[in-house]
Amino acid sequence: MNRPYTVATLGSHSALQILKGAHDEGFRTLAISNRDTERLYRSFSFIDEVIALGAYSEFMSLMDELERRKVIIVPHGSFVAYLSLDQQKKMTIPYFGNKAVLDWEASRELQREWLSRAGLKLPRQFRSGAEIDRPVIVKLYGAAGGKGYMFIRDAHDFETRAAHLKEAYIIQEYIIGVPLYIHYFYSPLENKLEIMSMDRRYETNVDSLGRIPAAAQEGMDVDPSYVVVGNQPVSLRESMLAEALRMGDDVVRVSKEICGPKGLFGAFCIETIITPDMQYYVMEISARIVAGTNLFIDGSPYSYLNYSEPMSTGRRIARELKNALLTNNLRLVLDDSSVL
């Protein structure tokens, strides 16, 4: 069935998953790529059209064209990298999601306030090097994918290696445990939260340090780094699922208090570290589809429980758009700036 709208996104991050899902749910699809990636996106038959830009910064000049094509934009992680918050807010083409969440997501302070209000356990934060009384991780602002993060043993180590840093950073308690990224989808149409899938990131070189015995590492000049190179699927101990769902519920509930009545909806991810006493510490929230969901284009064990058919997060987004159209509720799943 042909739907009156085209689902469009920027050609990177999770665009293939989003557009495949949109195609499977009966939408026309459009990838906005750059010249380097144009051939890639043209090579997939589920992508009906590709617009190739010289640079993503030209994206805003496409607005009239996108309006004419009756496009619904589905944002993903690269939107924050390629477009400013202002540009995203200025768009009036239909946009899946609530843009009020962007400010709360972009600022580490606001994010912390949001997650604490939701009752989630957060790593302790230190205001200065002098306060450090345990191993910490120093996180540069604006670092993407863990690049430039430093593991610091104690206050003395901080003085020698981090105190001179010119960029802004935060000092956070280093949590030793298993990192787990939980992918959720909240449906405003059904008022229901689902766990879609989970992954762990494969990071260089921190994930390979365990392969060298600690004794052999002594004296070697290796510092852990946290640069993401890939993702691995995880299925969680079933006894821990209830808490995972509860954390998602709490985040959505508080979002409705801080980001207007629509709150956070659609895809999001809570990034956690689980300690040996089975506590989830929350590192961060991503208020959109994350790249770890690309592992599950064919669905995950969890999405299978809900759908009994392949259901990626990208397809789940398109399913929500389809259900909204069929019930005349499109506005419920779009940002209020959207002009239909």
Q: Measured from the CB atom, is 134 or 192 closer to ligand ATP?
A: 134
Nearest CA to 331 out of 4, 94, 91 is that of 94
For ligand ATP, the binding residues in 152-181 under the rule CB under 6 A are 172-175, 179
182 near ligand ATP, rule: CB under 6 A: no
By CB under 6 A, is residue 143 in contact with ligand ATP? Answer: yes
Query: Is 226 an interacting residue with respect to ligand ATP (CB under 6 A)?
Result: yes
The answer to whether residues 122 and 115 touch, using CB atoms and an 8 Å cutoff, is yes
Give least dist CB 200 to ligand ATP, A.
8
- 140 near ligand ATP (CB under 6 A): no
Residue 81 interacts with ligand ATP (CB under 6 A): yes or no: no
Residue pointed to by tokens 């985040």: 251
Cα separation, 133 vs 200, in Å, equals 28
Q: Contact with ligand ATP (CB under 6 A): which of 79, 149, 296, 302?
A: 149
Stretch that binds ligand ATP, among 8-16, 18-26, 37-45, 141-149 (CB under 6 A): 141-149
Q: Does the protein bind ligand ATP through residue 137 (CB under 6 A)?
A: yes
Question: Helix (H, G, I), strand (E, B), or coil: what is residue 118?
Answer: coil
Task: Report d(CA 282, CA 265) in Å as an integer.
Answer: 19
Please report how close the Cβ of residue 280 comes to ligand ATP at its closest, in angstroms: 12
* Binding pattern for the stretch 251-280 against ligand ATP, x by CB under 6 A and - elsewhere: --------------------x-x-------
What distance in Å separates the CA atoms of residue 51 and residue 236, rounded to the nearest whole number? 40
Interface stretch with ligand ATP, choices 61-69, 100-108, 143-151, 156-164 (CB under 6 A)? 143-151
Count of residues that bind ligand ATP according to CB under 6 A:
19
| Three-class DSSP category at 90 | helix
Q: Give Cβ neighbours of residue 233 (< 8 Å, ≥ 6 apart).
A: 197, 198, 199, 295, 296, 300
- What's CA 178's distance to the chain center, in Å? 19
Q: Which residues of 202-214 are buried (b: 16+ CB within 10 A; e: fewer)?
A: ebeebbeeeeeee
Interface with ligand ATP, residue 146, by CB under 6 A: yes
Q: Is 76 in the site for ligand ATP (CB under 6 A)?
A: no
What's the DSSP call for residue 35? T
Whichever of 145 and 310 has its CB closer to ligand ATP, that residue is 145
Q: Of 60 and 170, which has the nearer Cβ to ligand ATP?
A: 170
How, if at all, do strands 6-10 and 28-34 pair?
A: parallel
Q: What residue is closest to ligand ATP based on CB?
A: 146
Give me 184's structure tokens.
């959720």
User: Considering only 19-27, 45-53, 145-153, 292-300, which stretch makes contact with ligand ATP by CB under 6 A?
Assistant: 145-153
Residue 113 binds ligand ATP, judged by CB under 6 A: no
Say whether residue 14 binds ligand ATP (CB under 6 A): no
Q: Which residue has the tokens 């670092």?
A: 143
Q: Is 283 in the site for ligand ATP (CB under 6 A)?
A: yes
- Sheet (strand 266-274) strand order: 226-233, 192-205, 178-187, 266-274, 280-286
Is residue 250 part of the contact set for ligand ATP (CB under 6 A)?
A: no
Binding residues for ligand ATP (CB under 6 A): 123, 137, 143-146, 149, 172-175, 179, 201, 203, 226, 271, 273, 283-284
